Amino acid sequence: MLKVFLYYETFEKKLSKLLLLEFNRVTLDSEGSCELTQEEMDKALYNFNEFGFVTPEELAQRDGPLSLPIAPVLPKIQEKKTLYNNLKENLNPLSHNAPYIMEERISALKQIHKEHIELIRKAAKLI
pLDDT tens-digit readout, 92-108: 999 999 999 999 999 99
pLDDT tens column, 9-22? 999 999 999 999 99
pLDDT at 118 (0 to 100): 96
pLDDT at 120 (0 to 100): 96
pLDDT at 55 (0 to 100): 95
Distances (CA, A) of 32 to 1, 36, 78, 90: 11, 13, 21, 21
Determine the residue type at 46: Y
Determine the 3-state secondary structure of 30 from DSSP.
Answer: coil
Per the structure, the complete domain to which residue 17 belongs is given by 2-126
pLDDT at 121 (0 to 100): 96
Rounded to whole angstroms, how far apart are CA atoms 16 and 94?
Answer: 7
Number of domains in the chain: 1
Pick out the chain residues at pLDDT < 50: none
pLDDT at 18 (0 to 100): 96
pLDDT at 28 (0 to 100): 81
pLDDT at 33 (0 to 100): 83
